[in-house]
């Protein structure tokens, strides 16, 4: 949801670094891009609708070369269509200040009216431009950019991460956050800011994650942070352990494909160092994962969005059945407005790849305010959700760049499974032997995952995807713990190939969706060899009887035998079958999108991290 970068380097070569940073952050939004630099000639802004390549064309004249200070932005439109004039950076009337923004200024209409009444002509449709004018006005008065930003933000309601530069006697770069993420890093010769640690990592591993309300003034070797009331604050840097190369494509044509292939390793990273097989238990760090809290637990309230919600649904089956604790799963955007009632001893569990999704964060905060104990399953160390949780399970999936989430999903399900086992052990529902058997299953799943990514298995999915890519529509069916996998398969397909796909509980098909079945309609059925396989078999027969074509994904031999197309998945204990069954569905979505010529890593209208409501 918009990417922000900024750099201040003594050697006067900031433009290339800004473009490199924007390239890394383009996954956050990609409908326009822009940069602003300050040098002895003043402030220069270049911005362009379209992908980053358009902006690169715009600046290749070299006119911005030599500047030491600059900010950049890649946009996901909220206010105003993606045009040149709505692209960031925006400037104030005097052309002294340039500003980039991620988030939403909720009182922008009021601020806009006030500026218009004062004779300011607004040149864009964005909520951001008012901020540039406010900072410009305060700068005329305060003389110091950080102070001007601080004063301007006092007037602002909403959520923002911003970066600002100004020309003047002492050129400077300032950034601030309230809501969306922002981190900074300094070295002796430079200072960097970014809305994702990925933009900082090529320059330094020591990263400061700003807190809500922080205003930071950056210069080579220096970072000065003030709070909204003007008092100074200290923030210790965190050391980032993984490399920037981990975020590269590594020879794959798309990030999504690379991330699908990483899943066996991700499973190992999420799980293996935490398994205590002697005790048949899981070693998590954090008070909320102790026997004391888990044995008193009365309810788990999961809130999440999109793919993370599907991981939450799978987790709910595991926790309820293994640990005997009731679990509610809500779309975070619904939870926050439904006046929820929580019982005492509730664990509020936010599940999120980014740890910054606005709805999930708001749901976590609401549940905390209602007395629940906040926790998160998350991929982003230093994210707001992790910081606001009493305990977290970091899924260690590494950077996920493809907008369609894949490896984070598998890692979340694995984390959910381990939490279910831990809770079951804490409550005495299972003994060490049973715990060990369940956890050993994780080790067995890794080679099975690998087998699904062997060349012949992948080619088989490609063939089926190519035969079905033009179907009238797609229905995805699953039962029990694999019902969320049907939802996830349908979501992946819609997201990246723009075809209509619906996920449904298989038993619910006869209550409506069966009317869709006709020749030319493809139905993907998830069919593990489990206690509901027979029921799934009848669902397959019902689809076939109406002329629909069935693609069966799973391990049940009878279901595979009657389907028109079969994608066999190795059998595993029923708890972890979702981790395997999702893989052919991810690949199916990938190959349909590829055949249709879609932009797989940057699907239209989407953004990786949804930090607005």
Question: Residue numbers of the site for ligand F6R (CB under 6 A)?
Answer: 305-308, 352-354, 357, 360, 404-405, 491, 495, 609-610
Active site residue 559: no
Between 68 and 357, name the residue whose CB sits nearer to ligand F6R. Answer: 357
Q: How far apart are CA 353 and CA 309, in angstroms?
A: 11
Q: Smallest distance from the beta carbon of 307 to ligand F6R, in angstroms?
A: 3
Q: Smallest distance from the beta carbon of 90 to ligand F6R, in angstroms?
A: 27
Between 354 and 574, name the residue whose CB sits nearer to ligand F6R. Answer: 354
Q: Smallest distance from the beta carbon of 64 to ligand F6R, in angstroms?
A: 33
Q: How far apart are CA 404 and CA 307, in angstroms?
A: 9
Q: Kindly provide the b/e burial profile for residues 430-449, where b requires at least 16 CB atoms within 10 angstroms of the residue's own CB.
A: beeeebbebbebbeebbebb
* 8 A C-beta contact, residue 72 and residue 18: yes
State the catalytic residue, choosing from 2, 305, 378, 598.
2
Q: Smallest distance from the beta carbon of 564 to ligand F6R, in angstroms?
A: 27
Whether the bond between 183 and the residue before it is cis, its omega within 30 degrees of 0, is no
Q: Smallest distance from the beta carbon of 609 to ligand F6R, in angstroms?
A: 6
Between 138 and 495, name the residue whose CB sits nearer to ligand F6R. Answer: 495
State the catalytic residue, choosing from 407, 494, 602, 608.
608
Of 587, 591, 581, 590, nearest in space to 560 by CA: 581
> Tokens 């399900």 identify what position?
413
Using CB positions, name the residue nearest to ligand F6R.
306
DSSP letters spanning 545-597: HTT-EEEEEES-HHHHHHSSEEEE-----GGGHHHHHHHHHHHHHHHHHHHHT
Between 280 and 503, name the residue whose CB sits nearer to ligand F6R. Answer: 503
Q: 183-186 and 206-209 as β-strands: parallel, antiparallel, unpaired?
A: antiparallel
- Indicate the SS3 state at residue 207: strand
Beta bridge partners of 268: none
Active site residue 598: no
Between 195 and 360, name the residue whose CB sits nearer to ligand F6R. Answer: 360
- Indicate the SS3 state at residue 360: helix
What does the block give as tokens for 191?
Answer: 């200072």
Residues 6+ apart with CB under 8 A from 120: 93, 133
Between 353 and 581, name the residue whose CB sits nearer to ligand F6R. Answer: 353
**Residue 293 to residues 188, 297, 500, 569: CA-CA distances in angstroms?**
46, 6, 44, 38
Q: Smallest distance from the beta carbon of 483 to ligand F6R, in angstroms?
A: 17
How much helix, strand and coil, in percent to the nearest 5, is found in the chain? 40, 25, 35
Q: Smallest distance from the beta carbon of 361 to ligand F6R, in angstroms?
A: 9
Between 196 and 217, name the residue whose CB sits nearer to ligand F6R. Answer: 196
**Residue 586 to residues 28, 113, 152, 333, 486: CA-CA distances in angstroms?**
21, 48, 46, 25, 11
Mind telling me the catalytic residues? 2, 608
């Amino acid at each position: 949801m918009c990417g922000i970068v900024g750099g201040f380097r003594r050697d006067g070569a900031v433009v290339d670094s800004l473009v490199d940073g924007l390239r890394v952050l383009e996954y956050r939004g990609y409908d326009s891009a822009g940069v602003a630099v300050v040098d002895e000639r003043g402030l220069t802004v270049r911005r362009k609708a379209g992908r980053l390549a358009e902006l690169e064309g715009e600046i290749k004249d070299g006119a911005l070369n030599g500047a030491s200070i600059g900010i950049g932005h890649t946009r996901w439109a909220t206010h105003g269509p993606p045009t040149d004039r709505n692209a960031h950076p925006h400037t104030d009337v005097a052309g002294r200040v340039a500003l980039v923004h991620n988030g939403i200024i909720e009182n922008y209409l009021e601020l806009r009216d006030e500026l218009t009444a004062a004779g300011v002509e607004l040149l864009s449709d964005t909520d951001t431009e008012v901020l540039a004018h406010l900072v410009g006005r305060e700068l005329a008065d305060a003389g110091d950019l950080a102070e001007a930003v601080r004063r301007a933000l006092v007037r602002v309601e909403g959520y923002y991460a911003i970066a600002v530069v100004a020309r003047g006697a002492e050129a400077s770069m300032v950034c601030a956050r309230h809501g969306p993420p922002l981190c900074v890093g300094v070295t002796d010769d430079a200072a960097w800011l970014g809305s994702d640690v990925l933009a900082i990592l090529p320059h330094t591993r020591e990263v400061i994650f700003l807190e809500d309300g922080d205003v930071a003034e950056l210069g080579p070797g220096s970072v000065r942070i003030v709070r909204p009331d003007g008092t100074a604050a200290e923030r210790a840097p965190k050391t980032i352990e993984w490399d920037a190369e981990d975020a590269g494509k590594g020879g794959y044509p798309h990030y999504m494909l690379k991330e699908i292939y990483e899943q066996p390793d991700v499973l190992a990273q999420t799980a293996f160092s935490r398994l205590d097989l002697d005790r048949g238990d899981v070693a998590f760090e954090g008070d909320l994962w102790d026997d004391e809290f888990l044995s008193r637990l009365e309810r788990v309230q999961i809130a999440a969005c999109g793919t993370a919600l599907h991981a939450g649904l799978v987790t709910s089956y595991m926790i309820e059945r293994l640990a005997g604790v009731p679990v509610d799963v809500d779309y975070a955007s619904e939870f926050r407005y439904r006046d929820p009632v929580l019982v005492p001893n509730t664990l509020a569990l936010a599940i999120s790849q980014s740890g910054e999704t606005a709805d999930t964060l708001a749901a976590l905060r609401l549940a905390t305010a209602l007395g629940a104990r906040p926790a998160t399953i998350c991929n982003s160390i230093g994210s707001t959700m992790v910081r606001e949780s009493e305990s977290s399970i970091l899924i260690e999936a590494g950077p996920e760049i493809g907008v369609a989430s894949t490896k984070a999903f598998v890692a979340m399900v694995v984390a959910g499974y381990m939490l279910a086992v831990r809770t079951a052990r804490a409550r005495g529902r299972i003994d060490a032997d049973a715990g060990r058997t369940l956890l050993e299953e994780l080790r067995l799943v890794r080679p099975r995952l690998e087998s699904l990514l062997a060349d012949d298995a992948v080619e088989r999915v490609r063939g089926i995807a190519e035969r079905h890519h033009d179907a009238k529509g797609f229905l995805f069916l699953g039962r029990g713990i694999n019902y969320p996998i049907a939802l996830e398969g349908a979501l992946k397909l819609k997201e990246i190939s723009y075809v209509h796909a619906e996920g449904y509980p298989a038993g619910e098909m006869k209550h409506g969706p069966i009317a869709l079945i006709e020749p030319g309609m493809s139905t993907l059925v998830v069919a593990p060899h489990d206690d509901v396989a027979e029921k799934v078999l009848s669902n397959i027969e019902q689809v076939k009887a109406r002329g629909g074509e069935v693609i069966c994904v799973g391990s049940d031999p009878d279901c595979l035998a009657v389907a028109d197309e079969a994608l066999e998945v190795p059998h595993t204990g029923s708890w972890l079958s979702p981790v395997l069954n999702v893989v052919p569905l991810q690949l199916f979505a990938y190959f349909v999108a590829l055949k249709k010529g879609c932009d797989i890593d940057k699907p239209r209208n989407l953004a990786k991290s949804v930090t607005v409501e």
